[in-house]
Amino acid sequence: MPVRNSRMRRLALPAIVLLAGCSTDIGPSREEMKTQWEQQNVFPQSYKSDLLAFLRTYLNDPSHVRGAAVSLPVRKDVGAGERYVACVRYDARKGDGKYAGPKEGAAIYVSGKLDRFLDTPLETKQYCKDAAFQPFPELETLAR
């Protein structure tokens, strides 16, 4: 009896693998993916409050930020298509209490919510080179 079960198992495994390879479900079409991507491009109504909540945890010392400015979210090429991107500029204190110097960041939004924050000079230059910054006093009055 054990020999027969062992032989059946050896025959069943290749059959399962063959059947799995015959599946015709190859995922969404290119048009379906493009439609889904575009449906996620919703203007982020609360972009400032999302940025404030993020920066409160991101910055070493979120109090006493100076020179804060933000741009309105605009659609930019990100990955496979366009996303809303808002740029932020600020000068925050480092851990030792000294100001680090002006920095920029690019906030990328998906479905109206903050999805990613990019802060490397190469990335921010790409997304924020044409940004029309406006004062962002809410960031300057942020507390821990």
Give residue 128's domain range.
Answer: 42-140
Query: Is residue 141 over pLDDT 80?
Result: yes
28 and 58 share one domain? no
Chain centroid to CA 23: 33
CATH number (domain holding residue 93):
3.10.450
The pLDDT of residue 33 is 79
Could you give the CA distance from residue 54 to residue 58 in angstroms, rounded to a whole number? 6
Could you give the CA distance from residue 102 to residue 89 in angstroms, rounded to a whole number? 7
Number of domains making up the chain: 2
57 and 97 share one domain? yes
Tens digit of each residue's pLDDT (9 = 90 or more) over 72-82: 999 999 987 89
33 and 46 share one domain? no
pTM confidence score: 0.76
Give the pLDDT mean for 106-134.
95
Tens digit of each residue's pLDDT (9 = 90 or more) over 4-55: 555 555 555 555 555 555 555 678 887 887 778 788 889 999 999 999 999 9
92 and 134 share one domain? yes
Owner of token pair 């409050």:
49
14 and 80 share one domain? no
Give the pLDDT mean for 89-116.
94
19 and 71 share one domain? no
The pLDDT of residue 24 is 56
Banded pLDDT at 122 (limits 50, 70, 90): very high
58 and 124 share one domain? yes
The overall average pLDDT reported for the chain is 85
Q: Is 104 helix (H, G, I), strand (E, B) or coil?
A: strand
**141's tokens:** 């009055």
Residue 82: CB atoms within 10 A of its CB come to 14
Give the pLDDT mean for 55-69.
93
